[in-house]
Amino acid sequence: MKLSILIPLYNKEKYIERCFKSLLDQDLSPNEYEIIIVDDGSKDSGAAIVAEYAEKHSNIHLIKQQNQGPSVARNKCLEAAKGDYVYFLDADDYLATNILNTLIELATKHDLDVLEFNTKEKKESSELDFESLTQNPQNLSVDVMDGITYVAEYGFRNEAWRYIVKRSLLVDAGVKFIEGTLYEDAIFTASLFFKAKRMAKVDMDVHRYIVVENSIVTSKDRAHNLKFIHGMVNAIEHFHGLIKSLEPSHPYYGKVVNNLKGKQQAFVFALIIRTLKYRLLSFKELKKILSKLNTFEAYPMDPKIGGIGEGSSGRFYNMTFVPAFNNKTCLYLGMGLMKLIPSR
């Protein structure tokens, strides 16, 4: 088995058939790849749709569990996987057609632990886009490097669906998704990269990321946003641990540490923005969180490190918001003023 595609499913009946259409229209034979779906206690007909596909396609497997969250579902997918490589895909996203064989050939030819590729962001209402823009993929250049060098060269994106991963690396290194928290992708990806010996990135058009209204990312629900806050704190703590575990003798040590600290600062900045926007925390609660972030060397934020915005927007944020957020008097005053404004 060359590839296992691993999909957590929760209330995605509207999208799962589109996802399957892209996965079944590939240049691999059914005995070369499998699609494993763990239904996380869906309340809609998504699992029934998957079951119908599983009856018709021997390489589609459905596993059901009570609702325990996407990390538990992904880990259960991984436990069932048999492929040499695994790919974590979200049920509301999809792939370009006839691209999987090239990805697997590149990963196998170069004995890669991790292979990154390109994604395109699409609105939910946009037309379906199954055609890959990549011409002559067999001619793609592949520059192989260890994970730490890779982070220094490319940085890293948090989302697990940007990469195919050698399953033996995950098993041998014991890398899994942390359960019971959000921002688990960021922790998983960073932990994975620092275990990888052979990584590469190819300029190949593969993935379609669909921006779904009222998803867990775009939801205005207070409970969800509180989970985001605590997920960010958890990710910042884990990044602190990764920084401490890095080998200082690595030639790219300084650059990678700066990259990770930039990620931490991006989380801190987003945490404060969400706190203000959704009136999530009391002064006492925010003070406690900021004190904890200080022990992780992530607060106050350092404009010299970066990680907050890009280009002109980054410079604007670092000149305006960052100094205000670093000043607790200004920050608490902002919280007080926001609470006086009616929320929409």
- Cβ atoms of 85 and 116 closer than 8 Å: no
Query: Can you give the pLDDT at residue 231?
Result: 93
**Residues 268-324 pLDDT 10s:** 999 999 999 888 888 899 999 999 999 999 999 999 998 998 888 889 999 999 999
Following DSSP, what letter does each residue of 135-166 receive, concatenated? --GGG-----B-HHHHHHHH---S-GGGEEEE
pLDDT class of 83 with cuts at 50, 70, 90:
very high
Question: Per mean pLDDT, which of 135-144, 183-192, 220-229 is the most reliable?
Answer: 183-192
What is the mean predicted confidence (pLDDT) over 163-170?
A: 98
- Cβ atoms of 3 and 104 closer than 8 Å: yes
Rounded CA gap, 5 and 240, in Å? 31
Integer CA distances (angstroms), 130 to 43, 49, 159, 207, in order: 29, 21, 21, 9
Rounding to the nearest 10 degrees, give the CA dihedral for residues 166, 168, 171, 177: 0
Angle 214-215-218 from CA coordinates, rounded to 5°: 70
Beta-carbon contacts of 270 under 8 Å, excluding residues fewer than 6 positions away, are 232
Q: Which one is the CATH code of 3-211: 3.90.1150.10, 3.90.550.10, 3.40.50.150, 3.20.20.70?
A: 3.90.550.10
pLDDT class of 219 with cuts at 50, 70, 90:
low
Query: Can you give the pLDDT at residue 326?
Result: 96
**Residues 22-69 pLDDT 10s:** 999 999 999 999 999 999 999 999 999 999 999 999 999 999 999 999
Is the pLDDT at 104 greater than 60? The verdict is: yes
Query: Can you give the pLDDT at residue 280?
Result: 83
DSSP single-letter state for residue 281: -
Provide the whole-model pTM: 0.91
What is the mean predicted confidence (pLDDT) over 193-219?
A: 85
The domain limits of the chain are: 3-211, 222-340
